[in-house]
A and B are shown apart, each in its own frame.
Chain A
Amino acid sequence: MKNSNTLTGKKKKNSKESVLTGISQEMLSLVGTAKEEYNAFITLNDHNLEKQVSDLSMGEKEEKNSLSGIPAVLGDNLCTEEMRTTCGSKILENYQSPFNAFVVDKLKDAGVMIVGKANVDEFGVGDSRGVSYFGPSKNPWDISRTAGSGTASAVALGAAVFGLGSDARGGLRQSAAYSGLAGLKPSYGRISRWGLIDYAPSLDQVGILAKTAVDIALVLECTAGEDYRDLSTLNNPAPKYLDILEGKVEEITIGLPGGWNDVETLEPEVKALFEKELAKLKEIGCIIVEVDLPHFFKASATACIIGAVEAFSNLANYDGVRFGFRSRSKHLQEMYIESRTEGLSSFLKQFLTFGALVSSESHYNEIFLPAQKIRTKIKEELEEILKTVDMVVTPTVPFRAPLFLDLDSCYGLDSSANIFTAAANLAGNPALSVPVKSDGDLPAGLQLIGKFFDEGKMLSIMNILQK
């Protein structure tokens, strides 16, 4: 955890061939370490990576774009033509997408060097459990603990400057907190989901993991914008986030939800780190006020109900007919059942069955519809509070990166990891996990939840905190 690669740091050295060669070789070495020792990658962009490194070493992509030549990693639920897209699942182990995700094309157009596809929870459903069919994603701070995702592991190691992944109930932000990174879930509709194999379309967003606010701002500027293939992307062009980063943060008012420190699973260490960071926010001129969000802490269970129902529907097409794993069977129904039963993990099977249960006639009215009403309350309360404060602050996760041995007690269908993060997915607001580091110990995260399309203001606060 000594590597400190950042996008801005690399660009300064981009003019001399020898330096570029050195950086490229160092990066290749880190990619190898991330794959072999931390299981961060499912697939490396082997052939193209060597060519891109060679081009970069020759200075061929120099100054094309701020992101040109910058190494990035993609969660393996973002479709790519040049590498398989497995979603961390046996059922898609050899799936080759016929197209690139919108964000992949955006990055390639900008000259980004995609080093590989990172380990993800199967179809993103495990949130930040960090375990897939391809094994666990180990945390660079302590390999006996989860990194939350391979993307977080790779970026924390310096094998990539930034990474893209998905965030449905908070998984991307949680992996950021576990791995000492920043993680942004943008506003719903800010980045196109075309080519993201999501499990809950009303909750999922493509998010960004990186080490600095500047890096996230540049990547957001590159990937945000309208896409006719995703109707949730709005006609709201991305601003120049780098300009916003330099804005004043004095007198920004931040609401702290009452009851944040009553969360049962809140670790004393996380509480202490969070309070220390709140003090820093006050030092830089922010005003912290307590706010009342009575439904906020109901978000995790609510998002579990809604996410499971959407996943039950959204993942129904993995049946062995058009793509993916197929079991040998005598007739069609048997083929559907055996392909899915053999191709999906035990945890995902239970989650999908739970989604089917909630969707059933006997539970739809008594469980699913009330969950959608609670979602309305969560959204309305956030909207009302954000008329009186600029943003809301909470810890990102109540605990630090769990040991692999303890994962089952931390993660179920619903997980207390989602207690602070799920509300932003239900409401669609942007949320940023800011890394909170302790001296030599595991990191934690501070979460800011902002107004729709106000990502820049949250990034400006993080930028000042990092200075």
Chain B
Amino acid sequence: MNLSSQEIKDAAWDARLELSSQEEDALLQEAQQLFKKVKSFIDPTLENVPLTFFPIPSTAVLREDEVQPSLPVSKAMANAPDADDHCYHVPRIIEE
């Protein structure tokens, strides 16, 4: 399987990251090896095998809807790099 540098660039964009050209090259090489390895594991016996997303059966069980103490807003926002009492401040969304 041949991955392209563009695929690595696109994936970095999806992850909201910038890689240097050395990082892109190293990742391209390692990703190709890993893809090749995983493909070598695939055989016809896997065709009807179910997927395992969690090690234990997982069902979304909702507990009773009860009012419980919650985190005060000031504490929840205390780590924000830029905020006022109730809002996070971010730079403008639309590019100039």
Q: Interface on A for B, CB 8 Å cutoff?
A: 94-96, 98-99, 188-189, 202, 228, 231-232, 234, 295, 298, 301-302, 304-305, 312, 316, 319-326, 329-338, 340-341, 344, 346, 349-350, 352-357, 359-360, 362-363, 366-367, 369-377, 379, 412-414, 426-428
Cβ contact within 8 Å between B88 and A322: yes
Cβ contact within 8 Å between A373 and B54: no
| Bound CA span A336–B54, Å | 30
| Bound CA span A165–B24, Å | 31
Besides the known contacts A340-B16, A349-B19, A356-B11, 17 further A-B residue pairs in the complex with CB atoms under 8 A apart: A94-B79, A228-B63, A234-B56, A301-B34, A301-B41, A302-B41, A323-B79, A337-B16, A357-B8, A357-B11, A362-B7, A373-B51, A373-B52, A374-B46, A412-B30, A413-B27, A428-B56
Cβ contact within 8 Å between B23 and A350: yes
- A334-B91, A341-B17, A350-B27 are contacts. A428–B50 as well, Cβ < 8 Å? no
Cβ contact within 8 Å between A357 and B41: no
17 A-B pairs within 8 Å (CB atoms) are namely: A98-B78, A232-B58, A301-B41, A302-B38, A316-B16, A319-B16, A320-B81, A325-B81, A337-B16, A338-B18, A349-B19, A352-B15, A354-B27, A355-B15, A357-B31, A371-B38, A373-B50
Indicate the member of B18, B71, B75 with the most A CB atoms within 10 Å: B18
From A99, which residue of chain B is reached at the shortest CB distance? Answer: B71
| In the assembled complex, B67 has its CB within 8 A of some CB on chain A | no
Contacts of B84 in A (CB 8 A): none
Cβ contact within 8 Å between A189 and B56: yes
Closest CB in chain A relative to B94 CB, distance in Å: 7
Contacts of B26 in A (CB 8 A): 350
Closest CB in chain A relative to B52 CB, distance in Å: 4
- A232-B54, A324-B81 are contacts. A353–B46 as well, Cβ < 8 Å? no
Cβ contact within 8 Å between B94 and A331: yes
B49, B56, B77: the one within 8 Å of A373 (CB):
B49
Cβ contact within 8 Å between A340 and B81: no
Contacts of B80 in A (CB 8 A): 321-323
Cβ contact within 8 Å between B78 and A301: no
| In the assembled complex, B14 has its CB within 8 A of some CB on chain A | yes
**Interface majority SS on B: helix, strand, loop or mixed?**
loop
Closest CB in chain A relative to B44 CB, distance in Å: 12
Contacts of A98 in B (CB 8 A): 71, 75-76, 78-79
Query: B65-83 vs A: 1/0 string, CB under 8 Å?
Result: 0000001000111111110
Cβ contact within 8 Å between A367 and B35: yes
Contacts of B35 in A (CB 8 A): 363, 367
Contacts of B91 in A (CB 8 A): 329-332, 334-335
| Bound CA span A27–B12, Å | 46
| Bound CA span A144–B29, Å | 29
Cβ contact within 8 Å between B34 and A337: no
Contacts of A329 in B (CB 8 A): 91
Contacts of B56 in A (CB 8 A): 188-189, 232, 234, 428
Contacts of B76 in A (CB 8 A): 98
| Bound CA span A355–B95, Å | 28
| In the assembled complex, B86 has its CB within 8 A of some CB on chain A | no
Cβ contact within 8 Å between A305 and B34: yes
Contacts of A359 in B (CB 8 A): 14
Contacts of B10 in A (CB 8 A): 360
Q: Which 9 A-B pairs have the closest CB atoms?
A: A428-B55, A323-B79, A326-B81, A357-B11, A356-B11, A372-B51, A356-B14, A373-B49, A356-B15
Cβ contact within 8 Å between B34 and A414: yes
| In the assembled complex, B85 has its CB within 8 A of some CB on chain A | no
Contacts of A379 in B (CB 8 A): 52, 55
B7, B17, B20, B96: the one within 8 Å of A344 (CB):
B17
From B9, which residue of chain A is reached at the shortest CB distance? Answer: A353
B7, B41, B58, B96: the one within 8 Å of A370 (CB):
B41
